[in-house]
Amino acid sequence: MAVAGGATSKREVVQITSYSRRLKENIKSILDNYGEILKAAKVTEGSTSTSEYDATVYHTKTEIEVRASNMVRAAEALSRLVAELKEYLILNDFSTINESITHRAKDLHAAQKQVLNETQKLYESYKQTQLRSLD
């Protein structure tokens, strides 16, 4: 049984490490591509011919589109990662689930006692009214 617990723990460490690595890679991709877009969008002054200017604009436009696409892809990967993390927490956060169940059970137990006390009071009140009606 301890071996299974150790394997689960090791699996969780590997999973969390994978999440961390993917997070860093996607954020780095977004930042790198954003920086390159800013560099490509920088206006340089020079006396170039119209055809050279048109070629440069086309090249820059294409580069910016590709980098923007890379940023969108990384953002979508981050979105999927967030969904996976939520699923992981829902399925593997047993301590919080158990704590919630225990708290709910205590609340319900307290409510049960309150209902029993009120029922007992009503019964006593009923008995007293019955005794008064007999007198």
Q: How confident is the prediction along the chain (135 residues), in pLDDT tens digits per residue? A: 344 445 567 888 898 899 999 999 999 999 999 999 999 888 777 656 777 778 888 889 999 999 999 999 999 999 999 999 999 888 877 777 788 889 999 999 999 999 999 999 999 988 888 878 876
In sequence order, the 6+-apart residues with CB closer than 8 A to the CB of 75 are 26, 30
Q: How much is the pLDDT for 38?
A: 93
- Determine the Cα–Cα distance for residues 31 and 41; give it in Å rounded to an integer: 15
DSSP 47: -
For residue 121, report the phi and psi dihedrals to the nearest 5 degrees: -65, -45
d(CA 109, CA 95): 21
Looking at residue 47, its pLDDT comes to 58
Nearest to 62 by CA among 41, 44, 77, 47: 41
- The token pair that represents 80 in the structure block: 């999927």
119: its two tokens: 């029922």
- Assign 93 to helix, strand or coil: coil
Phi first, then psi, for residue 87 (nearest 5°) are -60, -45
